[in-house]
Copies of this chain bind each other. A is one copy, B any other.
């Protein structure tokens, strides 16, 4: 008796759940250390010690009614102002509490943004490969994803196709940099070009097209790579942020929406985001984590751990003859599968106790995603498996 749509969605999602269950079964049979589960983006680095200290301090020093009571749906004003000041210092903006809505993670952020923007039939452009949940986050609110096909040599967006796919129904464009699943970061040139195209199309159609920058991996950047600040390039920008990865708190659901002051209809949008947070049933982000941000919002986990893993995965797979774009951020790598059928390839990998996700789950077949947010030894010990896999398909 569930809805037709949920029947589809439940059937579709059971594939990933099946993989998760399979991993658990494999671990029971072969031992956990002999299963190489690269399927999940669950942070493997501990949160900074200050996280625990901050929560205990808040519990001890704040009146329970203030701490646990209903805040404004957009979140505590002092916390929002704190985040604005931090942004102003870092990026030279002049934001205040009105630019921020605190939310239960980036998934909530995107749902609230799309609820605010989308009329039935509106289009949201995404660049393949992209996080499959974007399809749900748009269709939840009557919109649909229009995918731009990947440039598999760089995984930077295909600008010609992007331009061609913008229509009068394009209400938003979603980008995710550092990217899940490729680990690629969009360069300043890429963002400047994208903004140029968007401004041109806005003038041509007389519409507002919002750029939604999904940035849960923003702090996970390696070496000297610069991560550009998207509102510097384009006025109609939303940032969807989560502390899930930067602080290793994915279970706690804390993040924010930041809307650029220069965005069209800024005031109307901030009012609508507040209402959307409420009516979608989020109501507000968990207040203990809102208050914790006053102490921990500019901290980060030890990124060096992920960088070491990235180096190991990249050198190991390259040595074995796998082809991929070198990732510069996040904790994923997205190599070509050794046969065109990426699902069959990922199934074959299970024969060597390796769990990886087919690229077709991200709208980019012929590849696989490997999440290296695991112990270093899991990567090192998967060498033999990847070697045999390569031999099998050579």
Distance A22 CA – B238 CA, assembled complex (angstroms): 30
12 contacts between A and B (CB under 8 A): A1-B210, A3-B115, A3-B116, A10-B268, A13-B278, A42-B70, A52-B59, A55-B288, A104-B281, A104-B283, A140-B280, A251-B286
Interface of A is mostly: helix
B residues in contact with A268, CB < 8 Å: 1-2, 7, 10
Whether A304 is near chain B, meaning CB under 8 Å from some CB there, is no
Contact with B along A264-294 (1 / 0, CB 8 A): 1100110110011011111111111110000
**Interface band, chain A:** 35 or more
In the assembled complex, how far is the CB of residue A256 from the closest CB belonging to chain B, in whole angstroms? Answer: 14
Contacts A2-B272, A3-B117 given: A65-B52 contact, CB under 8 Å? no
B111 near A70 (CB under 8 angstroms)? no
A182 smallest CB distance to B (angstroms):
21
A window 23-52: CB within 8 A of B:
40, 42-44, 46-47, 51-52
CB neighbours of A284 from chain B (8 A): 251, 253
Judging by beta carbons under 8 Å apart, are A279 and B136 in contact? Answer: yes
A249 — which chain B residues lie within 8 A by C-beta? 68
Interchain CA distance A52-B265 in the complex, whole Å: 42
Answer whether residue A252 sits at the interface, using C-beta atoms and an 8 A cutoff: yes
Q: Does A346 contact B (CB under 8 A)?
A: no
In the assembled complex, how far is the CB of residue A79 from the closest CB belonging to chain B, in whole angstroms?
A: 12
Interface centre among A104, A119, A285 (most CB of B within 10 A): A104
Complex Cα spacing A140 to B104, Å: 18
Chain B residues near A321 (CB-CB < 8 A): none
- List 16 extra interface pairs beyond A2-B268, A253-B282, A253-B285, CB under 8 A: A2-B116, A2-B272, A6-B272, A9-B279, A10-B275, A42-B70, A43-B69, A47-B64, A52-B59, A55-B288, A56-B56, A56-B59, A64-B248, A68-B249, A68-B251, A110-B281
In Å, the complex CA distance between A379 and B112 comes to 38
